[in-house]
Chains A and B, each alone.
Chain A
Amino acid sequence: MTPRHRRRLVFVSLILLGVGAAAALTLNAFRGNMVFFYGPSQLATVEKAHERNLRLGGLVEQGSVKREDDGLTVHFMVTDNVKSVPVVYKGILPDLFREGQGVVAQGRLNNEGVFMADEVLAKHDENYMPPEVAEALKQAGGQTPQFSGTLMQGGLNK
């Protein structure tokens, strides 16, 4: 390696280090502020929550989904298993929307503490499996599936 090469190598390493450090500091500073949604418990801590458009995320509480007679307006509770927030939404729900499923609703909180949603998005989890496996897991009193153990023996016939 000639001195010239070494100088360039140091130059490139310095760019990488500098940009990396700058990005790390910026992201660290943003970390608290850059949330895509607030959970029901967090929502209580948000300042001036009534005046702002925000996103509420959590699980749709079991047994809380009620549809009005017009077929479009839906009432449900979004929960983080500690607190629940009632949500009202008028419109078409995504395919993955169901009780127990994660959702993100965008809208605002009215004065009665009801979240008036303009948009409801379903959140998908990281689990992928055929219906039969999901059924079997449910009967076994299912926990979060982890297939790493079966990856090697499982193969395609499972």
Chain B
Amino acid sequence: MWLWIHKFGSPKYFYNVSGKILPWVAGATALLIVIGLYLGLFASPADYQQRETVRIMYIHVPSAWNSMFIYLLMAASAAIGLIWNIKLADIVAAVSAPIGASFTFITLVTGSLWGKPMWGTWWEWDARLTSELILLFLYLGYIALQSAFEDRRLAARASAVLAIVGAVNVPIIYYSVQWWNTLHQPQSLGVGMSTIHPSMLWPLLIMALGFKLLYVVILLMRTRAEVLERERNNAWVQELAQALVGKSVIGSANEYR
């Protein structure tokens, strides 16, 4: 087990394996999102109260789930990097932050667009909305802290502490609608319960899976790029670059300079 973790944690091994699975994950993501968007925007019925506005849910809810999921993954990975000093874990945490921040932003914007016609307000300081906004600030703080240090080790360690402390906000977001009287509606989905009709639930679940995989695709791509940059002085990256020059990829890029 430990051997396997160290093997996968080695940047070179990760680079090779991720390169092989990336096209497959990317294909599955595209397929799921296309199907999900078609079902959500065209094939599924309008809601009995919200009418067509309900379709915002197919973007809003998967983004919101991702915003929390990515934060937990980022914090866990930062903790692993902090404790076991695994370089790859630091990279995963660092490159996840802007992705998570983007999904949080999408969640807030789509929620606002839905809130104006339905509730009658763009923004209201209720517990769910406020805690999600704090999540955005946590992401932004993490990104700022990452770039505040010249030294990568130091940056990873300092920002890991912030990520771990901020993780306490995630259960608050999740349970806010149960703990307090909020304007935001209570949750519609839970273990073995759903108050969403199947004709709307399936497109939602497909979109949610598509968005999860979209995160995986972007994560793999950004991690690979970051691995190459940090390992650029190592033999295996130099070899890779040499091979590319052989294929004249770098050569043709140079012609434009």
Residue ranges of A at the interface with B (Cβ–Cβ < 8 Å): 5, 8-9, 12, 15-16, 19-20, 23, 27, 31, 34-37, 57, 92-97, 104, 119-135, 144-148, 150-151, 154-156, 158
- Evaluate contact between A128 and B54: CB separation under 8 angstroms: yes
Closest residue to B182 on the A side, CB-wise?
A36
- Evaluate contact between A16 and B167: CB separation under 8 angstroms: yes
Given A27-B179, A36-B180: A131 in contact with B118 (beta carbons within 8 A): no
- Evaluate contact between B126 and A155: CB separation under 8 angstroms: no
- Evaluate contact between B183 and A123: CB separation under 8 angstroms: yes
- Evaluate contact between A146 and B193: CB separation under 8 angstroms: yes
**Range, interface on chain B:** 35 or more
Q: Pick the contact of B188 from A19, A120, A127, A132 — CB < 8 Å?
A: A127
**From residue B150, how far is it (CB to closest CB) to chain A in Å?**
23
Indicate if B98 sits at the interface (CB-CB under 8 A). Answer: no
Interface residues of B in 157-200 (CB under 8 A from A): 161, 164-165, 167-168, 172, 179-183, 185-188, 192-200
CB-CB < 8 A to A31: which residues of B? 179-180
Bound complex: CA A36 to CA B131 (Å): 14
- Evaluate contact between A126 and B46: CB separation under 8 angstroms: no
CB-CB < 8 A to A158: which residues of B? 197-199
- Evaluate contact between A126 and B186: CB separation under 8 angstroms: yes
CB-CB < 8 A to B118: which residues of A? 94-96, 122, 124
CB-CB < 8 A to B45: which residues of A? 130-132
Instruction: Sort A-B residue pairs by CB-CB distance and give the 7 closest, nearest first.
Output: A94-B120, A154-B198, A130-B45, A134-B48, A129-B197, A128-B196, A126-B188
**From residue A80, how far is it (CB to closest CB) to chain B in Å?**
12
The interface bits of chain B over 38-67 (1 if a CB of A lies within 8 angstroms of the residue's CB, else 0) are: 010001111111100110010000000000
> Would you give 8 A-B contacts (Cβ < 8 Å), ordered by A?
A27-B172, A36-B126, A96-B119, A124-B50, A131-B45, A147-B195, A147-B196, A156-B39
> Which one of B23-31, B77-85, B242-250 contacts A?
B77-85
CB-CB < 8 A to A9: which residues of B? 83
**From residue A150, how far is it (CB to closest CB) to chain B in Å?**
6
Bound complex: CA A104 to CA B119 (Å): 9
Closest residue to B79 on the A side, CB-wise?
A12
CB-CB < 8 A to B202: which residues of A? 155-156
Given A5-B84, A133-B197: A15 in contact with B181 (beta carbons within 8 A): no
Given A121-B119, A124-B49, A129-B47: A146 in contact with B195 (beta carbons within 8 A): yes
